[in-house]
Amino acid sequence: MTKHIKENGRLRLRKIVEFFPKLTVTVLADLVADEFVFGEISRVSREAPVLILTHRDHKVVPGGGANAIYNLADLGVNVLPVGVVGDDEPGKLLLRAFRHKRIPVSGVFKEKSYSTVTKTRILAGFAHTAGQQVVRLDREPSEGPNAHLRREIVLAAREFARASDALLVSDYGYGAATPSLLNAIREKRGLDKVPVTLDSRHRMLEFSGVTAATPNESEVEEALGIRIGNDWERLLAAGDQIAGEMDLESLVITRGKDGMVVFPRRHKPVDIPIHGSDEVADVTGAGDTVVAAFTAALAAGASAEEAAHLANYAGGIVVMKRGTATVSQQELLEALDKTPPVAREH
């Protein structure tokens, strides 16, 4: 059973989105280059039972934490990224993409000894059809940023955060957005009264001093060593445990086609069904979109439930796009106009 949010609630959400251009958000992030190579199926190789593709197109777009940054920019937020790229072609393309969106890059450090994290997806298809991903190749640095780079990251993030309405930490495990770096940024009153949101792939529970987190269900299962499945009570218990251990103001657990559940402190959890169709086109980067929209909404003064509703709209829009994509402020406003926010009752 679902219940619709009152009309004044929808107007409130609209005002929050319209406020986004007045916000500044610092993003401490593992920056990733998402590379897409498109090939048209030519024939099956005689050397091995594999497809031979004729190269048709190639593009590199911001991925990982860089995708969260791009999403914030497209939502109209003034965004200040902090991270590391290599002195290589993927790194240069990421910097070029940021400059194209007029995103400042003074906090993005270019290092010759570091290789930009690059995830190459090979897509195959016939003429006039959408490509299907057939293989992914990840290129990762052998080690994280060195001590000098870590110091530069801390100093830049601390300086930017003091002038920001929120700090978003996007941790993909590559060393530029670690728990120890966040602790160092917090020193010397570096994060006084600045809300901190977290999207961490594998070590969510190692972070402290975080305001809100947005894991997906499988990340919660990994963190707690459990299996949730379709067990609503187990999901509630897991959310309460995560929120309690991390001392969060709010927690959002995303559940793919089942939407998301938000756990606001001192309030009942709210179960939000997915916005739009559950026949998704591509989930690549959807978590980055969710944490970006959620962070922007919290920075604008939204409650955890309001922020989750807006993040749900954004996530529902982006999964209908192919590849690593973003949601614009206008798309979010149009979605609000077309469909009222709803919640499931239990």
What is the residue-wise DSSP string for 224-266? HT---TT-HHHHHHHHHHHHHHHT-SEEEEE-GGG-EEEEETT
Identify which of 257, 323, 332, 336 has the alpha carbon closest to the alpha carbon of residue 75.
332
Q: Supply the DSSP symbol for 20.
A: G
C-alpha–C-alpha distance, residues 263 and 235, integer Å: 11
Is residue 2 pLDDT above 60, yes or no? no
Identify the three-state secondary structure at position 336: helix
- Which residues 6+ apart lie within 8 Å of 330 measured at CB? none
Residue 186: name the closest of 209, 213, 163, 160 by CA: 209
pLDDT band at 312 (very low <50, low <70, confident <90, very high): very high
78-107 burial code (b ≥16 CB/10 A, e <16): bbbbbbbbbebebbbbbbebbeeeebebeb
Query: Residue 251 above 60 pLDDT?
Result: yes
Q: How many CA atoms lie within 13 A of 135 on its CB side?
A: 5
What are the backbone dihedrals phi and psi of residue 264, each rounded to the nearest 5 degrees, phi first?
-80, 140
Residue 6 has pLDDT above 90, yes or no: no
What residue segments make up the domains of the chain, in order of their start?
2-32+62-115+143-344
Strand order in the sheet with 31-44: 51-64, 31-44, 117-125, 132-139
Beta-carbon contacts of 336 under 8 Å, excluding residues fewer than 6 positions away, are: 10, 13, 14, 17, 313
pLDDT of residue 188: 80
Which CATH number is associated with domain 2-32+62-115+143-344? 3.40.1190.20
Average the pLDDT over 281-296 and give the result. 87
| Residue 257 vs residue 106, higher pLDDT | 106
Q: Tokens representing 214?
A: 């947005």
For the record, the structure tokens of 320 come out as: 């209908």
Q: Is the pLDDT of residue 279 over 70?
A: no
Inform me whether the pLDDT recorded for 8 exceeds 90.
no
**For position 332, what pLDDT does the model report?**
96
Question: Residues 54-66: what's their mean pLDDT?
Answer: 94
Among candidates 176, 177, 225, 217, which has minimal Cα distance to 198?
A: 177
As annotated, the active-site residues are 288
Convert the pLDDT of each residue in 125-171 to its tens digit.
Answer: 998 887 889 999 999 998 899 999 999 999 999 999 999 999 999 99
Residue whose C-alpha is closest to residue 185's, from 150, 154, 159, 209: 154
Query: What pTM was computed for the model?
Result: 0.93
